Chain A
């Protein structure tokens, strides 16, 4: 009955996140040696799938498999915490397993091939809601942390532009405002994540905090961080200094710098913070946003910049917006251009099966009708019918919604009637999914996004037909046939 012998999910071997990159032939002994290097008792189930992890295979064969982040690494690599639902899952299963997916693999390959003499390349992860942009970013951060890069990680830039208490006028520049609380929190996480670099990096200027306190030239960067943490009023300035120093010194080659920002569209969006006269502030009036904007420019070398867009926490953006053009706006797009766009899409059928397999191995699906006894699941007629009855987006295969086990509503799209899914992965469902071709037509704006009838999922191609075309410089990096489509005249600038 099994159509395929190889299973997609070996119990996550205790491999480092970049292991899947190296497609060169590796002797099995080196793999065993690598496994032995790590703590052996953290991986009790590796033995149950001994030979599926073929070291000589290419990185693409690892697609869809889970790899485990050791739990003791989590507080150091992700001191501010992982996304909420993922950290719930980590607590429930007692392990942190991320799926290796194509966007992350692509990004890791680019990072491995980075030429550190060239200006920092900016990679932008974009895609629909719940497709896995944040976790792909976390995968990259873990990879770089393992490779001993210096990580500047902003988990959610949206938090800096909304509901911030305690805004102060900046002492450094009268036009800008400080955010002591956010800056202090970020400094704390930065210190935890990059402890070992803080004593090695020496600052190149003297900074006067006030009449009595100053940090001399040549002192370690840790002192600036301490100053920001102890004197919370100076925290924002400390953040600015840290970023400036890292940027200027990354060219020296002493360390590799990774700037990872999630929700980067917040830097060029709008805020809900008010000045004293109750008028809304622009983001450039915030000192933190100002320093971060300078950081994501490509006028430095010796590292890379990985950014992820996010509509979820953003302010005053339409819910369906997911493209860089829509979320960043003209100003943001011009500031980030040129960048390498990486589309993160929903799970492919293989990834979905791998996810379900992972849940089954952790006995997460407890309902007796919650799974099929046949494998692979996508062969079963019910799941097939489900996949074909849904258009693009395929909420049933959305990584985020698979974690939540809650019914999904597409009310905003289909005007009030529910699209609740039936199937193995959601325990409570209401209506049968409506068959395609039953008279409902998508609105013309979204038609481009829908795959052809019969196709089960959208190909992982940047949707270039929306007025934005990757420039010639990085067209080779962007896969797929989408590059041929010219703009439909949405009015956006053609970069490059």
Chain B
């Protein structure tokens, strides 16, 4: 989770020391998502196991890195990032996407209620099932969550490309982060918009997660629709130049 300062390729950091970025300014493009940190700031290492390793077990490069960390500047850890054993970047990202108006408390409590609802539903299924089926029923809500989101990720996506005055939907392989984003986005939108107004989010979300875990449900259908559209527009694939 300690990503190196590899945002230079994408990011346009405004340097705290007043030096301008080396990337040229293109007309029509403005800087977005900039950081107050200059590039020499390293990401914080919040993993406790990293610090607990005894000296003897460290490799040369790890020793070197630890030496470096003593002198280098390190960014402050964001408030939502912890060194807990229960820290999960996927869940944190999902919580951020569910959050509205900066109400992280509410988003997080909805997430925990969802996980609890998933667990309770699975437990009820477990107790109602016979002995052979009990071995197949998964009761860990975290595994269900991760597997459900993985099942919802599309493999290929569509991108609008301008050619001859018209936009064509061109099939394009998606990077991993875009796939994860789409899976989460579809899940949340599905729960917010397509369900009855009076049902609570944990209820809706737990139901959708369980369906996606079993490769059923509207989110999986949306993924398949995306794949079908990409297959249908196969002929336009040569419009892609990257």
User: A91, A92, A367, A406: which contacts B112 (Cβ < 8 A)?
Assistant: A406
Q: Which B residues are CB-close (under 8 A) to A369? A: 85-86
Q: Which B residues are CB-close (under 8 A) to A405? A: 112, 116
Q: Which B residues are CB-close (under 8 A) to A94? A: 127
Within 8 A of A (CB), among B116-166: 116, 119-120, 123-124, 127, 139-142
Within 8 A of A (CB), among B76-125: 79-80, 82-86, 91, 105, 108-109, 111-113, 115-116, 119-120, 123-124
Stretch at the interface among A235-243, A339-347, A423-431: A423-431
Would you give the 0/1 interface string for A85-123, flagging 1 where the beta carbon is closer than 8 Å to chain B? 000100111100000000000000000000000000000
Cβ-defined contact, B116 with A366, below 8 A: no
Give A429's nearest chain B residue, CB to CB: B84
Cβ-defined contact, B139 with A363, below 8 A: yes
Cβ-defined contact, A92 with B108, below 8 A: no
Whether A451 sits at the interface, judged by CB under 8 Å, is no
How far apart are the CA atoms of A429 and B92 in the complex, in Å?
11
Could you list 18 further interchain pairs (A-B, Cβ under 8 angstroms) beyond the known A427-B86, A428-B112? A88-B120, A91-B120, A366-B140, A366-B142, A368-B140, A405-B112, A406-B113, A406-B116, A427-B115, A428-B86, A428-B91, A428-B111, A430-B79, A430-B80, A430-B84, A431-B82, A432-B82, A432-B83
Cβ-defined contact, B86 with A367, below 8 A: yes
Whether A284 sits at the interface, judged by CB under 8 Å, is no
Q: Min CB distance, B152 to chain A, in Å?
A: 22
Q: Which B residues are CB-close (under 8 A) to A426? A: 86
Number of A-B contacts (CB under 8 A): 55
Q: Min CB distance, A103 to chain B, in Å?
A: 28
Whether A422 sits at the interface, judged by CB under 8 Å, is yes
Would you give the 0/1 interface string for A372-410, flagging 1 where the beta carbon is closer than 8 Å to chain B? 000000000000000000000000000000001111010
Give B86's nearest chain A residue, CB to CB: A427
User: A92, A367, A427: which contacts B123 (Cβ < 8 A)?
Assistant: A92
Cβ-defined contact, A407 with B112, below 8 A: yes
Cβ-defined contact, B86 with A92, below 8 A: no
Q: Which B residues are CB-close (under 8 A) to A93? A: 123, 127
Q: Which B residues are CB-close (under 8 A) to A370? A: 86
Q: Min CB distance, A48 to chain B, in Å?
A: 18
How far apart are the CA atoms of A368 and B112 in the complex, in Å?
17
Q: Min CB distance, A450 to chain B, in Å?
A: 26
Q: Which A residues are CB-close (under 8 A) to B111? A: 428
Q: Which A residues are CB-close (under 8 A) to B116? A: 404-406
Q: Which B residues are CB-close (under 8 A) to A364? A: 119
Q: Which B residues are CB-close (under 8 A) to A404? A: 116
Give A405's nearest chain B residue, CB to CB: B116
How far apart are the CA atoms of A409 and B112 in the complex, in Å?
14
Cβ-defined contact, B139 with A428, below 8 A: no
Q: Which A residues are CB-close (under 8 A) to B127? A: 93-94
Give A421's nearest chain B residue, CB to CB: B84
Q: Which A residues are CB-close (under 8 A) to B120? A: 88, 91-92
Determine which residue in B82, B86, B113, B124 has the highest number of CB atoms from chain A within 10 A of its CB, and name it.
B86
Q: A94-B127, A366-B119, A366-B142 are in contact. Are A429 and B82 (CB under 8 A)?
A: yes
How far apart are the CA atoms of A366 and B122 in the complex, in Å?
12
How far apart are the CA atoms of A426 and B116 in the complex, in Å?
12
Within 8 A of B (CB), among A288-333: none
Q: Which A residues are CB-close (under 8 A) to B112? A: 405-407, 427-428
Determine which residue in B84, B109, B140 has the highest number of CB atoms from chain A within 10 A of its CB, and name it.
B84
Q: Which B residues are CB-close (under 8 A) to A363? A: 139
Q: Which B residues are CB-close (under 8 A) to A367? A: 86, 140, 142
Q: Which B residues are CB-close (under 8 A) to A428? A: 86, 91, 108, 111-112
* Pairs across A and B, CB under 8 Å, 25 listed: A88-B120, A92-B124, A93-B127, A94-B127, A366-B119, A366-B139, A366-B140, A366-B142, A367-B142, A368-B140, A369-B85, A404-B116, A405-B112, A406-B116, A407-B109, A422-B82, A427-B86, A427-B112, A427-B115, A428-B91, A428-B108, A428-B111, A429-B84, A430-B84, A432-B83
Give B127's nearest chain A residue, CB to CB: A94
Q: Is the interface of B mostly helix, strand, loop or mixed?
A: helix
Give B119's nearest chain A residue, CB to CB: A366
Within 8 A of B (CB), among A413-442: 422, 426-432
Q: Which B residues are CB-close (under 8 A) to A88? A: 120
How far apart are the CA atoms of A251 and B80 in the complex, in Å?
63
How far apart are the CA atoms of A406 and B111 in the complex, in Å?
10
Cβ-defined contact, A406 with B109, below 8 A: yes
Would you give the 0/1 interface string for A135-156, flagging 1 where the beta carbon is closer than 8 Å to chain B? 0000000000000000000000
Q: Which A residues are CB-close (under 8 A) to B139? A: 363, 366
Q: Which B residues are CB-close (under 8 A) to A422? A: 82, 84
Determine which residue in A91, A92, A368, A405 has the highest number of CB atoms from chain B within 10 A of its CB, and name it.
A92
How far apart are the CA atoms of A407 and B83 in the complex, in Å?
15
Q: Min CB distance, A142 to chain B, in Å?
A: 23
Q: A406-B109, A427-B115 are in contact. Are A366 and B82 (CB under 8 A)?
A: no
How far apart are the CA atoms of A211 and B132 in the complex, in Å?
66
How far apart are the CA atoms of A367 and B84 in the complex, in Å?
13
How far apart are the CA atoms of A407 and B112 in the complex, in Å?
9
Give A427's nearest chain B residue, CB to CB: B86
- Across the A-B interface, give the 7 residue pairs with the lowest CB-CB distance, nearest first: A369-B85, A366-B140, A429-B84, A94-B127, A92-B123, A406-B112, A92-B120
How far apart are the CA atoms of A192 and B132 in the complex, in Å?
39
Q: Which B residues are CB-close (under 8 A) to A92? A: 120, 123-124
Q: Which A residues are CB-close (under 8 A) to B124? A: 91-92
Would you give the 0/1 interface string for A39-80, flagging 1 where the beta carbon is closer than 8 Å to chain B? 000000000000000000000000000000000000000000
Q: A91-B124, A407-B108, A427-B115 are in contact. Are A366 and B83 (CB under 8 A)?
A: no
How far apart are the CA atoms of A430 and B84 in the complex, in Å?
8
User: B85, B109, B141: which contacts A366 (Cβ < 8 A)?
Assistant: B141
How far apart are the CA atoms of A363 and B137 in the complex, in Å?
13
Give B82's nearest chain A residue, CB to CB: A430
How far apart are the CA atoms of A364 and B115 in the complex, in Å?
12
How far apart are the CA atoms of A426 and B84 in the complex, in Å?
11
How far apart are the CA atoms of A427 and B87 in the complex, in Å?
9
Give B123's nearest chain A residue, CB to CB: A92
Give A370's nearest chain B residue, CB to CB: B86
How far apart are the CA atoms of A432 and B139 in the complex, in Å?
28
